[in-house]
Amino acid sequence: PDVRVLAQDFRAGFGANHNTVIRATEGRYVYVLNEDTTAGDWAFDRIVAYLDAHPRVAALGPRLVYPDGRLQDSAWRFPTPLVSAVGLLSVGKIGVKQSGGAQCHPVDWVMGAALVLRREALDEVGLFDEQFPLYFNDVDLCYRLKQAGWEIVYDPRVRIVHVEGASTRQAR
């Protein structure tokens, strides 16, 4: 009974679509989810408890897995010339990926397919940049949050299934 549908006549892009929902809500936290995600347990209580206990965390990215259960990399270092060079030389295996491990830990940025954001931090730095039509909205937002002194965390204890690319296959 507490569900509200926000109907749009068109898909405006990742940032614009999520910004529409964020502007229409009032909660302390916003759980951004792609339509190609699912979970047996969305872990709302655990996520809220963690964020309540860590007031400087602006964004939390859960562990993403493919439908077959394999880990999907979803947290990385910010792209810089050095990080990009190391990533190319190691095929992305050294110094770039930050997803993994068994405990919550700070990262540079987390994938927007499943991302919990603190409204207070969004009020400070702004929402997703709608100039990015699809990719890098999450990188840009996490960068602005970090620049403002907020923390970004990867939480491998929360598991979300992401059918990578299912949303983008529908777009031209």
Question: What confidence score (pLDDT) does residue 94 get?
Answer: 66
Q: What is the rounded distance in angstroms from the CA atom of residue 22 to the CA atom of residue 25?
A: 5
Question: What confidence score (pLDDT) does residue 81 get?
Answer: 82
Question: What confidence score (pLDDT) does residue 89 get?
Answer: 72
Q: What's the chain's average pLDDT?
A: 89
pLDDT at 158 over 90: yes
Question: What confidence score (pLDDT) does residue 95 get?
Answer: 67
Q: 139 in helix, strand or coil?
A: helix
Q: Which residue has the higher pLDDT, 35 or 127?
A: 127
Q: Which residue has the higher pLDDT, 167 or 135?
A: 135
**Mean pLDDT comparison of 96-100, 124-128, 133-137, highest-scoring range:** 124-128
Q: How many CA atoms lie within 13 A of 2 on its CB side?
A: 1
Question: What confidence score (pLDDT) does residue 166 get?
Answer: 54
Backbone region of residue 100 per phi and psi (left: phi > 0; alpha: psi in -120 to 50; beta: other values)? left
> 68-82, 83-97, 145-159: which range is least confident on average?
83-97
Q: What is the rounded distance in angstroms from the CA atom of residue 123 to the CA atom of residue 52?
A: 17
